[in-house]
Amino acid sequence: MSESKGFQLGTIGALSLSVVSSVSIVICNKALISTLGFTFATTLTSWHLLVTFCSLHVALWMKLFEHKPFDATAVMGFGILNGISIGLLNLSLGFNSVGFYQMTKLAIIPCTVLLETLFFRKQFSKSVQGSLLILLVGVGIATVTDLQLNALGSILSLLAVVTTCVAQIMTNTIQKKFKVSSTQLLYQSCPYQAITLFVIGPFLDGLLTNQNVFAFKYTPQVLFFIVLSCLISVSVNFSTFLVIGKTSPVTYQVLGHLKTCLVLAFGYVLLHDPFSWRNILGILIAVIGMVLYSYYCTVESQQKANEVTTQMAQPKESETDPLISVENGATILGDGVVAKGPAWSSNKDLHA
């Protein structure tokens, strides 16, 4: 029980850290991009990852975590794929309307559910699927405005959705397969992500903004917000890997939509962004979906834990008393092994 409570507290802490850090970096980047005119998002992300790697290297030197090398090919492929998915998301925003880009982000959840069902045989109950649908409808009402379609933008959005889903599923599966922590995986994959974005970033940003990141005038105010954004990104990147490792890619996406709603609310309160009854209605529906999703996931997790506890409490065949077995008519083989039909068959894990 203590281990279960510790895991729950760790999960709550990871979710809280993710929400606080993500909302903070969105507000910081909004000031940097909208107010100060620094519109080079992909290059900025490469700096985020570089600072994250340097921070983790210092933490490793201070022996705050243990370096655990594993499959180099998997790490390289994972890091490059993560970098490409970020670039594609930025391209999707550049070549589509804001409304279609929001639809692209909404498509990540059903795509993740589909991939996990097809390739990992993971089962999602009707209750969980229904709560996700309510969530997506709410976020769609709150964020999606115009839907302008074009062929190139649609292709880029499709590639962005697929690569993002695969990268987030890999984040979860790699941690479990190689038994590495979120910190260990982030430390080893960060250089590949940073190099990928550092190479393609200036090109993509130039394509989208018609400006050169190296020719931009870096005032002290711009530099301050860049440094602040990079420092916050350490917490964002760490909490992302932590949340996906402790929960699932779908839960991380649900959390992402919660952050979207919070950003809308903070934008209205702090930055006086325009806000309508449609935004309020959408946020309320989304919150209902999130609450239902959390409730059903908690209930199903408790059911799974109870099933495991029940199975462990049942006596194993090797622990059966031979004398009792003889009295019950069981046949004893050599060395006191009892030949007896299995008392129960192990059920497959119930996936939330």
Where does the pLDDT of residue 272 fall: very low under 50, low under 70, confident under 90, or very high at 90 and above?
A: low
| Lowest model confidence (mean pLDDT) among 27-36, 40-49, 279-288, 318-327 | 318-327
- The pLDDT assigned to 320 comes to 46
Average pLDDT over residues 100-126: 88
| Segment 87-115 mean pLDDT | 86
Give the pLDDT of residue 307: 78
Span 71-84, average pLDDT: 94
| Closest by CA position to 297, among listed 121, 133, 125, 112 | 125
Query: Mean pLDDT throughout 269-291?
Result: 79
Q: Would 330 be classed as within a structural domain?
A: no
Pick the range with the lowest mean pLDDT from 116-120, 210-214, 221-225, 299-303: 299-303
143-to-152, 254, 262, 277, 289 alpha-carbon distances in Å: 22, 15, 12, 12, 15
**What is the predicted pLDDT for the residue at 340?**
40
Q: Report d(CA 336, CA 317) in Å as an integer.
A: 12
Tell me which of 171 and 260 has the higher pLDDT: 171
Average pLDDT rounded to a whole number, residues 43-55: 95
CA dist 133 and 113 (Å) reads 12
Please state, in angstroms and rounded to a whole number, the distance separating the CA atoms of residues 139 and 284.
Answer: 9
pLDDT tier, 180 (very low <50, low <70, confident <90, very high otherwise): very high
What pLDDT sits at residue 256? 81
User: Domain for residue 182, yes or no?
Assistant: yes
Residue range of the domain that includes 120: 16-124+148-247
H/E run at residue 252: helix 249-270
Strands (E) across 201-336 are located at 331-332
pTM of the predicted structure, to 2 decimals? 0.74
| 311 vs 123, higher pLDDT | 123
pLDDT tens digits along 57-71: 999 999 888 999 989
Could you give the CA distance from residue 218 to residue 213 in angstroms, rounded to a whole number? 10
Residue 65 and residue 220: Cα distance in Å, rounded? 35
The torsion region of residue 338 among left (phi > 0), alpha (psi -120 to 50) and beta comes to beta
Mean pLDDT of 339-344: 40
Query: So what's the pLDDT on residue 190?
Result: 94
Q: What is the mean pLDDT of the chain?
A: 81
Residue 52 lies in a domain: yes
In a domain, residue 31? The reply is yes
Instruction: Examine the pLDDT at 105 and tell me if it is beyond 60.
Output: yes
User: Averaged over 94-105, what is the pLDDT?
Assistant: 80
Which residues, at least 6 apart from 169, have a Cβ–Cβ distance to it below 8 Å? 112, 115, 116, 120, 249
Length of the chain: 352
DSSP output for 98-145: HHHHHHHHHTHHHHHHHHHHHHH-----HHHHHHHHHHHHHHHHHH--
Residue 223 has pLDDT above 90, yes or no: yes
For residue 165, tell me if it sits in a domain. yes
In a domain, 154, yes or no: yes
* 31 DSSP assignment: I
Query: Cα separations (Å) of 89 from 74, 157, 262?
Result: 22, 7, 21
pLDDT for residue 326 is more than 70: no
Q: Count Cα neighbours of 211 within 13 Å in the Cβ-side half-sphere.
A: 12
In a domain, 313, yes or no: no
Q: Which residues pair with 287 in a beta bridge?
A: none
Task: Please count the other Cβ atoms lying within 10 Å of the Cβ belonging to residue 323.
Answer: 9
Looking at residue 7, its pLDDT comes to 56
**Domain-embedded: residue 278:** no
Tell me the per-residue pLDDT of 128-176, one tens digit each, with 9 for 90 and over.
Answer: 999 999 989 988 888 776 667 678 888 999 999 999 999 999 999 999 9
For the chain, the domain total comes to 1
